[in-house]
Amino acid sequence: MKIQKRVTAFITALTMIVPAAEIAGYRVSAAETQNEIIYGDLNSDKNVDVTDLSVLSLYLIGDRELENDMQKEAADVQYDGVIDLGDLACMRQYLSKKTESIGKPSEDITDKCTVLKIADYYGQYKIYEGFEYNCTKTDPDGYSMESEIYDSVLITSMDDYNKYIAYDEYGTKVFEDNKIEINEEFFKNNYIAMEVNSWECNEIATELTSVKKDSHGNIDLYFERRLPAFWFELLSFYRNIVIIPEISDNDNKLSVHYNSYYSIYESRHEGDEELPYPIIDVHRITGCSYTETEKKPETYGIISSNDELGSISECGLDMDNVISEFGLSDKFFAEYDLAYCIVPENSGYELERVLYNQSGEISFEFSNSDALEDPFVTGKTSVKFIGAAIPKEKAGEGIPNNNLKIDKFKGWTP
């Protein structure tokens, strides 16, 4: 009994030693996943936070059960086959940012892989019937209005290849075009990881950012998706093909992860006319005077209060026009954050869209690289300020104020 009490006291203390940022609501967000365990997520909300830490501590002292095998695997954050105090300590370190990852260790093998795409925009061939296909309703002519195809498979043999790809000429053509011969010899040294989706044909830009392999030979594909505010659904799909040049004798699994960015502002053009699809307020303010000081303003960032606004002015940038355009005040900052990017006054930039993801990151995408140039070169007396009023819930309340990204416009697919 004394030992049990000591263990309980130790676990309680270990759980409580979490920085104030975590207790105040900081959450380590996980990307969307398909057929994947999120290590540390014990309450199935796709986040790893202090609530999960509490669930694990209650399990360890016998006051709570883990409901199924997936939950038990998610609790094994040390990935050593047992759930014990070491997992609790590991999760606490992860939440306090003393360690960057938990769960199965992995190696980034992106540079070793070959990436191909098979696109079908017009339903020219059938998809393997075993893949998951959701169709919720049809219009009067019988066409699908809400449909979704998504699945993934690890192809490790000619039998698999014939089953998932080679049953039609379009599936094999991409390999022929890239002079890749698929035969029994190929599968002695390679696997094929294939992700199937219907998103990329609907003006949703999808980019494979990394391929990882864990110590058991399991493969993880990581995608970034950029979803426009409006798109037309096409009855078609994509196959993303990744050739894995390293194989394992284990019964390997394939998992797919998506980090989705949702458009909250778009700028489209018809002729010379700009047609914005705004969900947020965007202003381009020219002629902001700049006086060179010892410390330059940050060229982009997020302003969350009048105090932060003042710190930019102290760096030599006259913010009067910005304050006037947006009506910046305590009332404004109670509802919005101001995401901004400062560009050279004569920049040939075009802000194409503003996006955010489920982790609260905001992304400005420009049509060329001018916006990425330093606007505060010697001799410049004015710059151009681009601001977007982001509702607090979009910017991720409680997430550190360094979550704005500046990027080149990725374009639409197809």
Q: Is residue 294, in this structure, part of any structural domain at all?
A: yes
| Type and span of the H or E element at 74 | helix 69-75
Looking at the fold, whether 94 and 120 belong to one and the same domain comes out as: no
Segment 86-96 shows an average pLDDT of: 87
The answer to whether position 414 is within a domain reads: no
pLDDT at 183: 94
272 falls within a domain: no
The average pLDDT across 207-218 equals 87
Look at 55-69, 118-132, 133-147, 228-242 and tell me which has the smallest mean pLDDT.
133-147
- Contacts with 16 (C-beta within 8 Å, 6 or more apart), sequence order: none
Residue 217: exposure state from Cβ atoms within 10 A (0-12, 13-18, ≥19) = middle
pLDDT at residue 219 is higher than 50: yes
Q: Is the pLDDT of residue 368 over 60?
A: yes
Q: Look at residue 271 and tell me if it is in a domain.
A: no
Name the domain boundary from 103, 120, 146.
Answer: 103
Confidence (pLDDT) at 401 = 45
Q: Which neighbouring-strand residues pair with 404? A: 362
The closest alpha carbon to 361, from 396, 335, 393, 333, belongs to 396
Q: 284 with 213, same domain?
A: no
Domain co-membership, 130 together with 238: yes
13 and 152 co-located in one domain: no
Of the listed ranges 28-32, 285-289, 291-295, the least confidently predicted one is 28-32
State which of 207, 232, 264 marks the end of a domain.
264
Q: Which of 122-131, 314-323, 338-347, 381-390 has the lowest mean pLDDT?
A: 122-131
Q: Which has more pLDDT, 174 or 34?
A: 174
- On whether both 63 and 34 belong to a single domain, the answer is yes
- Pick 360 or 362 by higher pLDDT: 362
Q: The CATH number of the domain where 72 resides is what?
A: 1.10.1330.10
Residues 255 and 154 in one domain: yes
pLDDT surpasses 80 at 306: yes
The reported pLDDT for the residue numbered 122 is 59
What integer best gives the mean pLDDT of the chain?
Answer: 79
For residues 143-164, average pLDDT: 80
243 in the same domain as 227: yes
The sign of the dihedral angle between the CA atoms of 38, 41, 47, 49 is negative
Residue 315: its pLDDT value, please? 87
Q: Please answer whether residues 162 and 155 qualify as being in contact, where contact means their C-beta atoms are separated by less than 8 angstroms.
A: no
With contact defined as beta carbons under 8 Å apart, do 101 and 38 qualify? no
**Within a domain: 273:** no
Tell me how many domains the chain contains. Answer: 3
Domain membership of residue 257 (yes or no) is yes
Shared domain for 297 and 378, answered yes or no, is yes
Q: For residue 397, is pLDDT > 70?
A: no
Q: To the nearest whole percent, how much of the chain has pLDDT over 70?
A: 78
The whole-number average pLDDT for the span 145-157 is: 78
How large is the average pLDDT for residues 377-400?
Answer: 72
Q: Same domain, yes or no, for 311 and 254?
A: no
Burial label, 196 (beta-carbon count in 10 A; 0-12, 13-18, 19+) = buried
So what's the pLDDT on residue 9? Answer: 52
Omega into 105 within 30° of 0, i.e. cis? no
pLDDT recorded at residue 324: 92
Answer yes or no: do 145 and 161 share one domain.
yes
Q: For residue 315, is it within any domain?
A: yes
Asked if residue 257 and residue 132 are part of one domain, the reply reads yes
For residue 246, what are its two tokens?
A: 């390293």
Distances from the Cα of 166 to the Cα of 121, 126, 247, 317, angstroms: 19, 11, 21, 61
The verdict on 176 and 37 lying in the same domain is no
- Kindly report, residue by residue over 230-281, the tens digit of the pLDDT: 777 676 788 899 999 977 777 788 888 888 888 889 887 666 666 667 788 8
- Structural domain includes residue 274: no
Report d(CA 67, CA 69) in Å as an integer: 7
Mean per-residue pLDDT, 366-370? 75
Which of 74-78, 368-372, 388-392, 397-401 is predicted least confidently?
A: 397-401
Domain of 303? 280-408
Final residue of a structural domain among 103, 127, 157? 103
